[in-house]
Structure 1
Amino acid sequence: MSSLQKEAAAFTDLILEVFQLNGLLLQAGDRLSAPAGLTSARWQVLGVIDHGPATVAAVARTMGLARQSVQQTADALVDDGFVAYVDNPHHQRAKLLSLTTAGRRALRKVEAAHAAWANRLGASLAPGLLAAALEGVRAARLRLEKDLTPEEGARET
């Protein structure tokens, strides 16, 4: 890392911290969602389609994941009765994922657990610190999105 400039080293430190945070958030999400029969991945898919039925591809785009991984999760959710495939009026083959009553009930249970957890953790951190962290992570995400857009092209080092 000695060849990295100061800013590049700081950005790399941010990346590593976000990776660690992501792993911990997935563990916490698994704990929060397990009583409802879900995992973090399943919770995320239900959260996306709670806003309305969507194709697996649309869910994957929203979550920033590969369609194949979301397809596996969606199929498991269907098998467990949390979602159903319904006809898509805009596309004959690409079915829409739609929440079932059991899926909506499970999602609400996880949302209640999440609210209590987020209230507890959020209250333990200074509001200014949270706001600054959010601003920094959002700025990094937006810059990375811009860097990866086809118009810009991915930057090579």
Structure 2
Amino acid sequence: MSQEPANRNSASQEPANRELLSRTALGVFRLNGQFLSVSERLARPAGLTAAWWQVLGAVLREDLPVSGIARTMGMTRQGVQRVADLLVGKGLAEYVPNPAHRRAKLLRPTDEGRAAVRRIDPGHTALAARLAAELGEERFAETVRVLDQLSVAMEAVAEE
């Protein structure tokens, strides 16, 4: 008997939840487009594209295999492989042996790749300051927390 009201309440929430999911997805898609657009503008003067910057950014702290970059950045493995090969061809990154897996080499930025990313830093810093001023630092930090929580929740439901 205690199950019945919960089920009715859950069923009545379905349209609202579906609307929330749709609005969230559309907002994230729009935000992704906005981030890609501004990233292209920031990266272009450094001789990079947004995708190149994204992949280089993933390996600034530690060398990673292509599959690890794809997981971290939410990209396809094939897309990361294509960008990684271009970065290596341009001398912005290099493949190094992976002690954990003979065939899955690690991607590492070269000094030239690190320098290119550093050239983006002033614009990146200015954008961060403008967003913090627009949102307020507390709301900016809360936005990051909520997006992290949403990402974890999406991973959990995707595994079901």
Give yes or no for TM over 0.5. yes
The answer to whether 1:42 aligns with 2:52 is yes
| CA distances 1:113-139 after superposition (whole Å, capped 9, x unpaired) | 201111122212234543443344333
Look up the match of 2:109. 99
Q: TM-score, normalised by structure 2?
A: 0.83
Residue 72 of structure 1 pairs with residue 91 of structure 2: no
Deviations 1:85-113 (A, max 9, x none): 11222222221111111001011111232
Q: CA RMSD in A?
A: 1.9
Q: Show the counterpart of 2:3.
A: none
Aligned: 1:32 with 2:42: yes
Gaps of 5+ in 2: 1-13
Structure 2 residue corresponding to 1:59, chosen from 69, 72, 77: 69
- Is the contact between residue 46 and residue 116 of structure 2 (CA under 8 Å) also seen in structure 1? yes
Provide the C-alpha distance between the structure 2 equivalents of 1:86 and 1:130, rounded to a whole number of angstroms: 37
For the residue of structure 2 that corresponds to 1:93, the secondary structure is coil
Is residue 7 of structure 1 aligned with residue 26 of structure 2? no
Q: Identity rate of aligned residues, in percent?
A: 40
Q: Cα deviations across residues 31-84 of structure 1 (Å, max 9, x unaligned)?
A: 001111111111111111111211111111111221110000001101111001
Stretches of 4+ moved more than 6 A in 1?
none
After TM superposition, the score normalised by the length of structure 1 is 0.85
Which residue matches 2:97? 87
Bigger shift: 135-144 or 93-102? 135-144
Question: Which has a greater percent of helix?
Answer: 2
Please, which of 140, 150, 154 is the counterpart of residue 144 of structure 1?
Answer: 154
Alignment-mate amino acid for residue 140 of structure 2: L
Which of structures 1 and 2 has the bigger CA Rg?
A: 2
